[in-house]
Amino acid sequence: MSLVKSPRMTERKVAAIRRNQKLSHGPATAEGRERIRAAHLRHGFYAPAEEVATRALGEEPVHFHELLEGLWKKYDPADAVQEGLVIRLARACSPGPRLLIGDVVSLQLSVFRCQ
């Protein structure tokens, strides 16, 4: 026998849950969905398309690709994990406000340790 009573669902609690469920289904309009997409582009780190993100941040995709190529040559990733770290490092080092300096240093150390 448990010493802790399990919580009971009262009618009032069930009604509150049902009311809240109706409010939390995500954006319903095209305008709302566009607002969500724009939120991903604010900082660019989790944006699905790198070129779209860099342009939205006021950067040139060419500069990002040059940075990525330089980091790729420097660290020469051997597997998928290292490739992902080099890409994250390029995103972090690009001129846009994507990550804090501490995160950049942390990523550089991670790449260095993987070599």
Mean pLDDT across the chain: 75
Task: Kindly report the three-state secondary structure assignment for every residue of the chain.
Answer: CCCCCCCCCCHHHHHHHHHHHHHCCCCCCHHHHHHHHHHHHCCCCCCCCHHHHHHHCCCCHHHHHHHHHHHHHHHCCCCHHHHHHHHHHHHHHCCCCCCCHHHHHHHHHHHHHHC
- The answer, yes or no, to whether residue 99 has pLDDT greater than 50, is no
Give residue-wise pLDDT tens across range 35-72: 777 666 555 555 666 666 666 666 777 888 888 899 99
pTM of the shown model:
0.44
